[in-house]
Each structure stands twice: as structure tokens, then as C-alpha cells.
A and B are shown apart, each in its own frame.
Chain A
Amino acid sequence: MGVNNHHETFPWKHIVGFIFSLLLTFAALWVALSSGLSAGAIIGIIVILAVIQASLQLFMFMHMTESDSGKIQTINMAYSFFIAVVVVAGSVWTMSFVL
């Protein structure tokens, strides 16, 4: 049942993760709106910021390292990675034919 295991300590990890996520998001916003870089550079930078933020959230919020079943985590991550590649690469490939 949905009983929370009570951690008595303050959730520092979550707060720090949250603040860093905000920082990274605003950084991306700034790069896109007011950095004045070329479109290619902007896309490159926000992709990198996005990957950093995704990994940050996996470790800070998603208990990546706390699970007792490493196997499920591995399958899960591999499948997520597969879907992400399919969605992105598949879209780019298909849409490259649109003028």
C-alpha cells in the first residue's frame, strides 16, 4: 500500500537536484533567447544541457543507485535509451525528406 517509508533526514538531494534543474533550464532559455549564437551552436548547447539535466534527475530524484534489483534497472535504462534513439533518429531520418 502507498505507505511512505519515513526518512527522518531532510531531503537535501531533492532540493539540490531541483535547484540545479532550474539553473540548467534557465541557462538553456538564456542560450536560446539572448546568447546571440548561431542556430547550430544553440541547438548543440541545449542538447548538452538537456542530457546533463536528465542524468542529474536520474541520480537525484529517481533513486538510480538505490535499487535492490540492478537487472531491472539495466533493462529499463537500455530500453529507454533504445526508445529515445528510435524516436529521435527515426524522426530525423523520416523528416529529412520534408522540404
Chain B
Amino acid sequence: MKWSEFFVTGEPLIYAADVAIVLTIIGIVFVLTYFKKWKWLWDEWLTTVDHKKIGIMYIICAVLMLFRGGVDALLMRAQLTAPNMKFLDAQHYNEIFTTHGTIMILFMAMPFLIGLMNIVVPLQIGARDVAYPYLNALSFWLFFFGALLFNISFVIGGSPDAGWTAYFPLASNEFSPGVGNNYYAVALQISGIGTLMTGINFLVTILKMRAPGMTLMRMPMFTWTVLITCVIIIFAFPVFTVALALMTFDRLFGTQFFTMANGGMSMLWANLFWIWGHPEVYIVILPSFGIFSEIVSTFARKRLFGYKAMIGSIVGIAFLSFIVWVHHFFTMGAGPAVNSFFSITTMAIAIPTGVKVFNWLFTLRKGKIRFTTAMLWSLAFIPNFVIGGVTGVMLAMAAADYQYHNSYFLIGHFHYVLIAGTVFACFAGVHYWYPKMFGHLLNERLGKWAFWLFMIGFNICFFPMYFLGLMGMTRRMYTYAAGLGWTPLNVVATIGAVLMGIGFIVFCYNIYYSARYGERDMTGDPWDGRTLEWATASPPAHYNFPVVPEVTDLDAYWAMKKNGNGYEVKEEQLEPIHMPSNSGRPFLISIAFFIAGFGLVFKWFTLAIIAAIFIILGLILRSFDDDDGYYISVDEIKRTERLARKGA
């Protein structure tokens, strides 16, 4: 292969990106060396198994990916603003919508939520870490290097260009030569392994590590939604693993699973993709529901209305989410029986979802509502998400879907559920738990600015898309003729997208501003919270709770505050705390995965095999690893706790 094929060439935008990447790397290396931070980076972050730090790293990566995906989005909106634009050509546009979709769902939404899960769940259930801390680090680094591998396709080899759904036969070698779709297959596989392990890890954590007294029916709602999400992950991801493996075989080794010739079946890819894909959209919405539930109940100062109905409906949604997938390809024309069946199951999902909406509304009813930034995001979620849900039910009618399918109406639908659901939840959750993560609050004034800009921009951007869809504009078209009457609404949509971009910038500025001037959280409980994460210091000590709390009620910490002085620790109660040791192996194994993946992408099999040997070596070393962790002495706990109380 020639170097000119290895690096993507000929595009001014790409050259600019090359320069930016090189400068950023030089900058990072320089800063780390100048401030002598390499050891700190290795000891505190790269080898950590602490769920709070892993959560923070997940969120940092997710915000970076939100930026990357957002730039993709703005480029697409720029191209579509006016008819016959020459800003992007067809190929470039294809690549951008593909990376936008893949990155936003798999490398932004999911990691963002998994990051919040990591930080919050062990604290909410009164645990000191997750069940398998080492595995947790491995999950994170696999996600990280999977995302990195996917992102470098942009400058090395060329991006995938067959859509985030990578439908065959388009994604086959025949129609997509080049390495772009190899990146898709391999990078998603690597990060998918990480996700699957996260699912197992948190399932065990929640089932086995709850504080004494916390029965399943006293579990906070966010933890409940994470539990059910884990079940969905465990059952849905293996299907994707297999589908991606078959895709890899087709693309690298010439098998014919999804090709058009030799008995291959292209639609089988779509089928397998959506068996995973529909549960996947619930993987990113259920934890969001959990986040909103926590925030609504805290800032309405009321116990969550209909706790049991909420649990019933998430279990129902999880169950239904596996039997609706065909609604993504009604137009394949699988016959009236199939389409009717999946049409009905799809519409049925609206029932448990509706139950949840009413539960939030009743929680608000007669509450003493405090309009914090986190609460604003949550309140805005309800009506916006309902718009997405209602249009979803419209799409669910198979006959009508022949009209809506793959039009901008569909684009409107899933952005209303994914942005108003998942993205709003991520912002809400970050504002709500920020003091737990960093010990200071995000500035409320800037937070509200970001909220209004983003929320209004979102509606200006995506509401017109429903009408564009009804007017006949189809998704993934890179340009359109003048005189179709689509121009005004497209201009409006682009204005909205710019507003959302400004909102995001304000959010990022807020992180910087609050780090410098933000209000410190001395109490550990800035919002008068109800669940256990607010019982401990902000940020919590490494071991989370000096003494494992006793739970007597659903709103465990609220009950402690009402029946006494909250969570009090007497020094006599302290005992040595057992903690897991750090390990650099997850990081190193994941680098091996990255190199092996890179080798597969370019069919450099020797490289891939050598890296694979290192992966196996890492697994073997782990099997013979006798490190059982270490104990934190009572003296050290006392010292830490006194310092925390003094607010140092």
C-alpha cells in the first residue's frame, strides 16, 4: 500500500484536521512533560480501578465525542442549508453522516450514561466499588481504544460511508471497497466487548453489593433502570457481536453471509442489526429515565410517584424492546402477518412509556419545585420526549410507515427521543451529580443559558424536519434541487443547529468557569438529596463510605435526615477497609486490542496475530494473579474523614 493511500489526502478539511491532531498531541506531551505529570497520569488515571475515576474518564471522552459528532452535524447542516450547495461532495457527506450516527450512539450516548452509572450506582447502593473493578477498567479502556480506532479512520485509510446501520449489500466489499467499513466492523466489536462486560459487572454489582437493608424494592429508581439496562445489554449485545463478526468475515476473508451472490442474504444483516439495534435505543433511554426520576423527585421534594408502576413499566419496556425490531424495515415487505405483529408490539411500547410520563407529572403535582438547571433539563424532557414518542407511534403503523420511512420525518422522530431523552438526561445528570464528581457546583446562570440555547435550538432544528419529511425530503441526501419548497425549512433547521452548538460551547465554558470560580460543596449534599450518594462527602473518599450505611427506606438518606442527623460516623465504628489494587494491565491489553484491530482493518495479519498474542498473554497473567487488594487502616480513614469534615 502506498502512503498516499494510507493517509487520507486531497481534502483541505482533512489537512486542517491533520495539523490540529498533530498540534494537540504535541501540546499534550509538552504539558505532561513540562509539569512532570506522566507519573501522575499513570498512577491516578491509566491504572485506576476506582469507579468514580473511571466514570469521570468515560464522561470526558463522551463530551469529546459529542464535540466530534456535533462538528459532523454542523457540517451536514451547512451543506443542506441551501439547494445545490457545493460545500461537501456526495462521498464526503456519506462519510460524515455515517460517523455522526455511529459516534453519537455508540461513543457518546452510551459512554456518557455508563460514565454516570459508574459514578452514581455504587454510591447509591452504599457500595465501595463495583463487583469487578479490574474488569471495569478493562471495559473502559476497550471502549476508549475502540473509539480511538474508529476516529482515526478519518485521517488514516478513510471513514466508513455506509451509514451507522451499515446495510448490506452497500457495506460489502463490492460496493464499499477501501478500509472504511473494516473500521466500522472492528472498532465497534472492540468497544462492544467492553459494553458487554459493563453490563455483566453492573448486574452483579446491583444484585450482590447493596448495603444492608436495601431490598430490591428500596432501590433508587436510577439503580433500577441501570439494572434493567444491564439485562438488555447482556441479551442484545451478543447478537451484534455475531453480526459484526460475520460482517468482518465477509469483508476480510471473502465469506458470503450478507452478499448478493452464492446464497448470501443481505437483509439478514438488517435483521440482526435491528435485533440488537432496537434494544440499543432502550439501553440509552432507560438510564435516562432513571436520571430524570431522581432529579424530578429531588427538586419537587417529593417521593417518586408510583414507584412500583415505574418498575413495572421499565420491566415491560425491556421485555417489549426485544420483540419490535422489524419496525425498522417494514418496507422490506415481509407480508401482512409479520408487519401487523411487529406493528402492534411497537405500539404497545407506548403504554408503559405513557405510564412513566404520568408518574413524573404526578410527582411534580403539588411539589415544591426548585428550578435548578438539572430540573430545567428534566422538565423540558417531558413535553419534548412526548413529541418524539407520539411520532414514534405514527411510524409504528406499518402501512403509514411506507410513507414516512427513511424520510426526514424519521429523522425528526429519533432526534426527538434521543436528544430530548438521552442528551437532555446527560446534561441534567452532569449538573446534578457534578458536585459529587468534582467537589464544586456548576454555575447555575451559565447552566441555564446553555439550557435555553440548546433546548430552543433543538426545537428550531428538528421540528421543521417532520414537515420536510412530509414534503418528501428523504434522509441521507447530500443536496437537493431549488424549487422543491424545502429551502426555507432547511434554513430554519440550520439556525437551530447553530444555536445548539452555541449552547454546547456555553456548557463547556461553564466547566472551565466553575473549575475556577465555582461554589465549593462542603456538605456533600448540595441539593437536599434523598438517596445515599448525598450522604457521603463531595467528592467521596476513595472508599466511598467510611462505614457502610444501613438502609431503612426507599429514600434512604432522606429517611436518615428525617429520623436523626443523617449519616453519622463514630470513630469507634471504623474498621479497616478492603480495596482493590490498581493495575496497568487493562490499559495495556486494550492497546493490544487497538493494534490487533488496526492490523485487521488493513489486513496486516502478522501485526494482528502478534497483538493477539499479547492479549492472550494478558489474560493468562490475570488468571495467575494473586493480588487480593489491600487494606486501608483505621488511622488513615480517621485522617481522611477529619480532613473531609474540615473541608480541606
Contacts and interface: CB of A to CB of B under 8 A. Distances in A.
Given A3-B628, A4-B628, A97-B332, A87 B275 contact: yes
Interface centre among A83, A87, A90, A94 (most CB of B within 10 A): A94
A94 B334 contact: yes
B352 interface: no
B265 A95 contact: yes
A1 interface: yes
Interface string B567-599: 000000000001110000000000000000000
Interface in A44-91: 72, 79-80, 83, 86-87, 90-91
Contacts of A98: 265, 267-268, 332, 334
Interface in B208-250: 231, 235, 239
A91 B325 CA distance: 10
B338 interface: yes
A91 B271 contact: yes
Given A86-B322, A90-B323, A95 B268 contact: yes
A95 B266 CA distance: 10
B524 interface: no
B69 interface: no
Contact of B235 (A3, A83, A91): A83
Contacts of B333: 97
B629 interface: yes
A80 to B, nearest CB: 7
A83 B278 CA distance: 14
B134 interface: yes
A97 B335 contact: yes
B133 interface: yes
Nearest to B275: A87
A50 to B, nearest CB: 12
Contacts of B323: 86, 90
A58 B628 CA distance: 27
A83 B323 CA distance: 9
Contacts of A87: 239, 275
A1 B268 CA distance: 42
A94 B337 CA distance: 10
A80 B629 contact: no
Interface string A1-45: 111100000000000000000000000000000000000000000
B156 interface: no
Contacts of A1: 128-129, 131, 133, 578-580, 629
A98 B265 CA distance: 8
A91 to B, nearest CB: 5
B338 A93 contact: yes
B132 interface: yes
A97 B322 contact: no
Given A1-B579, A2-B132, A83-B322, A91 B275 contact: yes
B272 interface: yes
B629 A94 contact: no
Interface in B543-584: 578-580
Nearest to B271: A91
Given A86-B322, A91-B275, A97-B333, A2 B131 contact: yes
A12 B326 CA distance: 45
A58 to B, nearest CB: 15
Contact of A97 (B135, B231, B338): B338
A90 B272 CA distance: 10
Contacts of A90: 275, 323, 325-326
A72 B239 CA distance: 23
Nearest to A69: B207
Interface centre among A1, A4, A91, A93 (most CB of B within 10 A): A1
A1 to B, nearest CB: 5
Given A94-B326, A95-B267, A2 B335 contact: no
A97 B337 CA distance: 11
A3 B131 CA distance: 9
Nearest to B131: A2
Interface in B316-349: 322-323, 325-326, 332-335, 338
A83 B271 CA distance: 15
Contacts of A79: 231, 235
A55 to B, nearest CB: 17
Contacts of B235: 79-80, 83
A95 B264 CA distance: 12
Interface in B503-518: none
Contacts of A3: 578, 628-629
A52 to B, nearest CB: 19
Interface centre among A2, A72, A86, A98 (most CB of B within 10 A): A2
A94 B338 contact: yes
Interface centre among A4, A80, A97 (most CB of B within 10 A): A97
B265 A2 contact: no
17 contacts: A1-B129, A1-B133, A2-B129, A2-B131, A2-B629, A3-B578, A3-B628, A79-B231, A90-B323, A90-B326, A91-B268, A91-B275, A94-B338, A95-B267, A97-B334, A97-B335, A98-B267
Interface of B: 128-129, 131-135, 207, 231, 235, 239, 265, 267-268, 271-272, 275, 322-323, 325-326, 332-335, 338, 578-580, 628-629
Given A87-B275, A98-B332, 5 more contacts: A1-B128, A2-B131, A4-B628, A91-B275, A95-B267
